[in-house]
Amino acid sequence: MENRIVELETKISYQDHTIAQLNEVVTSQQQQIDQLEKAVERLRQHLKQSGNHEIARPDEEVPPPHY
């Protein structure tokens, strides 16, 4: 019975370690997602402010000379 308790405690210890590692990964990924969302929002604002004058719609573009 004592061996079984020791084995269970060992498994729990490894699981706790694994959970802590996974938590670090999830936390890091969430921080990256937050940074990317902010970057996308800044790009959207920049595009709004610059206007769409530089970017032509596909139907307005002149075909290249080789056509």
Cα(43)–Cα(39) distance, integer angstroms: 6
Q: What are phi and psi of 16, to 5 degrees?
A: -60, -40
Cα(22)–Cα(42) distance, integer angstroms: 30
| Tokens linked to 62 | 């002149």
pLDDT in tens, 20-52: 999 999 999 999 999 999 999 999 999 888 875
The residue type of 59 is D
Task: Return the DSSP state at 1.
Answer: -
* Model-wide pTM > 0.85: no
Is the pLDDT score of 56 beyond 80?
no
